[in-house]
Amino acid sequence: MDKEIAGMIVAVNDEGYLTNLEQWTKEIGEAIAGEENIAMTEQHWKVIEFLQHAHRNSEALSIRSLGKHGPVSIKEFYVLFPGGPLKKASRIAGIPKPASCV
């Protein structure tokens, strides 16, 4: 389905995750962060860039890979995106939600 975010019409799924990363802009990320009550800072954007880069390279994302290769520690990641950080950061980044098989 389509949704208007930050004045742009983008394709999203039922849970509000963008289905096409090419439609993502920083303004859209900012607007989704607002819905999650997160005020974006430079540290936040570093995490978002890391996630998008990993997604474009088809790397599986996990808290572990972020802690190991990402710009912040796992503890800091939790402070930046409280309560389900990978899920929230993925939505802001315009990439799919981490999922199991069912």
Partner 1 sequence: MNKLLILGAGTAGTMMANHLRPRLDAEWEISIVDQEETHYYQPGFLFLPFDIYKPKQLQKRIDKFVPAGVNLIRQGIDRIVPDKNEVVLTNGKELQYDILIIATGTKIAPQEVSGMLGPLWQKDIFDFYTFAGAKALRDKIRSWPGGKMVVHICEMPIKCPVAPLEFAFLADSFFVEKGMRDRVDLTFVTPLSGAFTKPTATEKLGHLLAEKNIRIVSDFAIERIDNENHKLVDYGGQEVDFDLLVTVPTNMGDEAIARSGIGDDLNFVPTNNATLQTTIKDNIFAIGDATNVPASKAGSVAHFESEILTENILRYVRGEPLKEEFDGHANCFVETGHGKALLIDFNYSHEPVEGTFPFPGVGPLTLLKESRMNHIGKLAFRWVYWNMLLKGRHIPFVTAQMDERGKHFRESEV
**Catalytic residue annotation:** 101
Q: Which of residues 70-89 bind partner 1 (CB under 8 A)?
A: 74-75, 77-78, 82-87
In contact, 5 and 48? CB cutoff 8 Å? no
In contact, 65 and 59? CB cutoff 8 Å? yes
Cα separation of 72 and 2, whole Å? 33
Partners of 4 in the beta sheet? 9
Give the nearest distance from C-beta 2 to partner 1 in angstroms.
Answer: 12
Write each residue from 7 to 46 as x if it is in contact with partner 1 (CB under 8 A), else as -, in one continuous string.
------xxx---x---------------------------
Structure tokens at 14: 């039922």
Residues that bind partner 1 (CB under 8 A): 13-15, 19, 58-60, 62-65, 68-69, 74-75, 77-78, 82-87, 97-102
